Amino acid sequence: MGFIQGSKKIIYFLDQKVEEIAIIVLGALLVSSLFFAVLVRYVIHIPSLSMASHWVEEAAQYSFIWLLYIGASLATRNGGHFRVTAQFGLLPKKARRFASLPGDLAWLIFNLFIIKLGVDLCRSSAENSLSLELPMKLVYAIIPLSFSLILFRLIQFNYRQWKKHQAAEGRHHG
């Protein structure tokens, strides 16, 4: 396998699989943590395990939060981000492909704003989480990280849509 082919496989993996794998891992952590917490709370009454249940409940909370943010990026990659499109059917066909651009531009600006706020939050955070004693800047890091990924996916989605329309026009004219 040559360098170019290996690079293409890595890029494909990063583009198509990273978010999905992260969601699977975070979902598994969430479910197993909650299963353990329920088991310890209602079935197994061992004091040392009860202390551990506080840790896994906190891990479940953070994995759920991270799962939602990574899921938003995956939805954006697939064009499933929030938008109202019913009114686009009233437009002429040529105008439809540009109809979502104002909303996507607003979404892009919003993402930049949230990335800035998320970075500021991470920089200013000095506290640790209660049970796991994780630096909260690690927990808060999902905000600028995910919104940067969402921003990238939004640009990528619009670029791919544009390329698809260009190819379709080429088939009609050629």
Question: Count of alpha carbons within 13 Å of 127, Cβ hemisphere only?
Answer: 5
For the cut 70, the answer to whether the pLDDT of residue 13 exceeds it is: yes
- pLDDT for res 6: 77
Q: How far apart are CA 59 and CA 75, in angstroms?
A: 24
Give residue 64's pLDDT: 97
Interval 41-58 mean pLDDT: 85
* DSSP calls for 48-81: HHHHHHHHHHHHHHHHHHHHHHHHHHHHHHTT-S
25 versus 10: which is more confidently predicted? 25
- Fill in the DSSP letter of residue 130: S
Q: What is the mean pLDDT of the chain?
A: 87
Give this prediction's pTM. 0.82
Domain carrying residue 141:
3-173
Q: How many CB atoms lie within 10 A of CB 69?
A: 17
Tally of structural domains, the chain: 1
Tokens of 165: 């329309």
Mean pLDDT of 14-36: 94
Residue 169: both structure tokens together: 């026009």
Q: What pLDDT was estimated at residue 20?
A: 94
